[in-house]
Structure 1
Amino acid sequence: MSGYNAVLARNTENSPTGIGPYSQSVAFSHYNNLSAQLPIDPASGALVAGGAKEQAEQCFKNIKTIVESIAHVMEDVVRVTIFLKDIADIDVVNSVYAAYFPDYVPVLTTVAVAALPMNALVQVEALISNGEGTIPQAPQAGDLVKTVRNTENAPVSTLSAQTVAFSHYNNLSAQLPIDPKTGKLVAGGVKEQAVQCLKNIKAILEGIDVPFDDIVKVTIFVKNLSDIEHVNEVYTTFFPDSAIARTVAYFPARTTVAVSALPMDALVQVEAVVSHGDGTPPQIVEDRHGIVIKANNTAHAPLHALSTQTVAFSHYNHLSAQLPLDPATGNVVGGGVREQTEQCLKNIKAIVERVGHVMSDVVKVNIFLKDIEDSAALDEVYTVFFPGGVPARRIVGVSALPENALVQIEVVVSNAEGTPPEK
């Protein structure tokens, strides 16, 4: 595929090599996907001594080392995701985070989860812009710039931008149910909070003149998994948003995660990834229809009324998180975590193949485990599907999963051919 973008996996000895079969950084086109970093001292392979502050410092040191090893700087970070064992540690971890981003701030998502690998207190993940792209022998350095924007019609934070665009994607900070006028959580329960989260997202998109239906992926973090039906009631009042989207019943790809706690003791938080047809300057401004969203489903994987299995835009495919459901019955497969992991990955493989791709096109894998101790058993199956250990990866332990599953897996897939208009 000469002349096409290529998957570029890289590692450095100056940062932890990982506790599983994955690469530290996987670049494709104009983004670098980093594996979530634990507070591991690369010299000893052990967690650093101390509490959340020391662990956060080591996580960011590891990220900075990886970023510099691929000839980038911390200002190239577009998104940061922070996973905490205890939400009470948020202020001390934010103080460390702020020291690494003294001027420019990326978009940010922070949640507390049930468990982290190695019983860590903190885990940090980053997405990096990649101006030079990954077309062999065809560097594009200097062609693209980040565009950072905020609006007073959505909550403003000194720690994060509301949206950071690079190339053909806008990455939004996860939105809490904060009234932008008061800076406080809205009154009411989970339905009212879900409405506010989605209102905030819509306000951000209107501030950058992007339609709501340009969202390609949504992640919903809920405090109580039992609240998801109430959230879904609200969700369907926002999607589909336009007449065109309603005609084709378009829903973005979606992942639902039950977390142990959210900032400000919120009940729900919503994160969105948005297509950006115009790209970022000094790229030539393109017609908004020059690159199109392509949504696909296959009967060989589980179908869901409120999400599309995969949504492609430009050079990435975003998949909805897959549960261990047998697509023929709609039920969770029998057995333990090995059998459930295999079914999740079979579903992913069916979706990937439906859009003309192969598993080696996967650049990032996010794994949610009911029991973090199942990681080793999961890896036995995982390495069959990813024998080279190329994709970047993240594992977190969650308090609950839909359908009472033991595991849920989502992936991001490279899309070398892009998404040009239909002929």
Structure 2
Amino acid sequence: MSDTIIKASRNTDNAPKHSHSTQTVAFSHYNYISAQLPVRPTMDKVVANDVKAQATQCLKNIEAIAESIDHVMDDVVKINIYLKNIEDIDAIDLIYAGAFQSHLPTRTVIAVDDLPMEGALVQMDAIVSNGEGTHPQDATDLIKVESNTENAPKDSASMQTVAFSHYNNISAQLPLDPTTEAIVDGGVKEQTEQCLKNIQAILENIEVPVDDIVKTTIFLTKAMDIEAVDQAYSTFFQEANTAKTADYLFPARTIVIASELPMNASVQIDAVISHGNGTPPQAVEDRHNIVIKAHNTDSAPKHSLSTQTVAFSHYNHLSGQLPIDPKSGKIVSGDINEQTKQCLENIKTIIESTNHVMDDIVKVTIQLKDIKDIEAVNAIYKGYFDSDLPARTVIGVSAIPMDALIQIDAILSNAEGTPPAS
């Protein structure tokens, strides 16, 4: 593992601090910002029982963190919004666009079962472009490249895709027919097919193939729908990714059971895309032939429809890890303590199999069946890190695959990068 490029973990007094996360962790050309609750930096409670006021505070906190690292809100490439009530997005959108001066970032919106602070109606996390890179990279004038196509649904509150350097982030795609802007007819299988068609249309518009997807997150409202989703999902990648090797047919993947989705959809999918062309003015020799490195280890749980970790350029994206014993393939016995340890052990095993360590993680997302379990999780969590903690998002969900109590996914820095194709 190369230590040429280093992480930059930073906190500011102008935004709320948390003992179990860092406000922002930068590596190479991205900053990952921890989920921001509607809390002022000097208070330990939510600002008001009003979603507009709370959303305003979340955005203020993100802005304060961005400004503390010499960035602005227009450097945001992706925002995730977690709501207690999906209908509150209409009120949030009245103030949301005002936080940005130019083009809006990509966005994912879901309703969750619970949030980490009593009275919170909304929580937001963000990814911020980092044109200066991290030490010892030289600052460059890289630009964001935003794109929309008429062949996929448009949203006045987000761009379909925003590229920066060697990654594209795609807004979560609902199962909307782009010509009617209505949910397609049929059940969850048909809805999944439409979400994937929309993603493919966005990729085709930017001349990127489906086999450049490194990570998907699938949001469902019912855990029982996973089987129907998988039918559509497996067919899509098997047909679209004919150029991939047998070792990498599927990207990394996480499933989230949302309480509600926009437009009463049953499924929504977002994606992270490798972008070998980079964004201007990256030099030609830096832009081409970077390859995806997909990796599985027998020492951690495998899934037939996902790869444990997919690296591209200076990042690895891990699939969401359930508390599964890799030998038995079953959820470990025990309470939240045992399940948390197993999730983290699975992540640690995958990371070490790629010659990395837990301290290379830049962002963690934790799903809990009972948000009150976060105290037990925290007691175990810190022990897996020796240096500054990653950025982090915690949400309470109504269900987790395999009836688990917890699921954790992670994004990992990859200092050595991935090689150019020979």
TM over 0.5: yes
After superposition, residues 195-210 of structure 1 pair within 5 angstroms as 195-210=193-208
Aligned to 1:412: 411
Aligned to 1:399: 398
Contact between 1:383 and 1:389, CA under 8 Å: does it hold in 2?
Answer: no
Aligned to 1:15: 15
Secondary structure, in 3 states, of the residue corresponding to 1:353?
A: helix
Q: Give deviations 1:148-180, integer Å, cap 9, x for gaps.
A: 011100001111100000000010000000100
Aligned to 1:178: 176
For 2:2 and 2:357, the matched residues in 1 are separated by 18
Aligned to 1:307: 306
Paired residues in the alignment total: 420
**What is the one-letter code of the residue matched to 2:155?**
S
Contact between 1:309 and 1:319, CA under 8 Å: does it hold in 2?
Answer: yes
Moved more, 185-194 or 200-209: 185-194
1:139 deviation in Å?
A: 3.0
For 2:122 and 2:72, the matched residues in 1 are separated by 22
Q: 1:220 aligns with which of 214, 218, 221?
A: 218
- TM-score, normalised on structure 1? 0.97
Question: CA, structure 1 residues 393+3, in 2 after alignment: closer, same or farther (shift >3 Å)?
Answer: closer
1:2 deviation in Å?
A: 8.6
Aligned to 1:149: 147
After superposition, residues 21-420 of structure 1 pair within 5 angstroms as 21-119=20-118, 120-136=120-136, 138-142=137-141, 144-240=142-238, 241-245=240-244, 247-286=246-285, 290-420=289-419
For 1:287 and 1:9, the matched residues in 2 are separated by 26
Moved more, 283-292 or 146-155: 283-292
1:286 deviation in Å?
A: 4.7
Q: Give deviations 1:296-336, integer Å, cap 9, x for gaps.
A: 00011000000000000000000000000000101111111
For 1:95 and 1:300, the matched residues in 2 are separated by 49
Contact between 2:248 and 2:294, CA under 8 Å: does it hold in 1?
Answer: no
Secondary structure, in 3 states, of the residue corresponding to 1:360?
A: helix
1:248 deviation in Å?
A: 3.8
For 1:223 and 1:96, the matched residues in 2 are separated by 27
1:371 deviation in Å?
A: 0.2
1:103 deviation in Å?
A: 3.0
Secondary structure, in 3 states, of the residue corresponding to 1:5?
A: coil
Secondary structure, in 3 states, of the residue corresponding to 1:311?
A: strand
**What is the one-letter code of the residue matched to 1:15?**
A
Contact between 2:26 and 2:134, CA under 8 Å: does it hold in 1?
Answer: yes
- TM-score, normalised on structure 2? 0.97
Contact between 2:2 and 2:416, CA under 8 Å: does it hold in 1?
Answer: no
For 2:265 and 2:361, the matched residues in 1 are separated by 33
1:192 deviation in Å?
A: 0.9
For 1:306 and 1:242, the matched residues in 2 are separated by 13
Unaligned runs of 5+ in 1: none
Secondary structure, in 3 states, of the residue corresponding to 1:347?
A: helix
Secondary structure, in 3 states, of the residue corresponding to 1:200?
A: helix
**What is the one-letter code of the residue matched to 1:276?**
H
Question: CA, structure 1 residues 289+48, in 2 after alignment: closer, same or farther (shift >3 Å)?
Answer: same
Over aligned residue pairs, what C-alpha RMSD do you find?
A: 1.5
1:243 deviation in Å?
A: 2.4
Contact between 1:3 and 1:135, CA under 8 Å: does it hold in 2?
Answer: no
Q: Give deviations 1:229-270, integer Å, cap 9, x for gaps.
A: 000000011113232226445210000010000000000000
For 1:74 and 1:409, the matched residues in 2 are separated by 28
Question: CA, structure 1 residues 269+375, in 2 after alignment: closer, same or farther (shift >3 Å)?
Answer: same
Contact between 1:14 and 1:42, CA under 8 Å: does it hold in 2?
Answer: yes
Contact between 2:223 and 2:399, CA under 8 Å: does it hold in 1?
Answer: yes
1:104 deviation in Å?
A: 1.2
Unaligned runs of 5+ in 2: none
1:216 deviation in Å?
A: 0.1
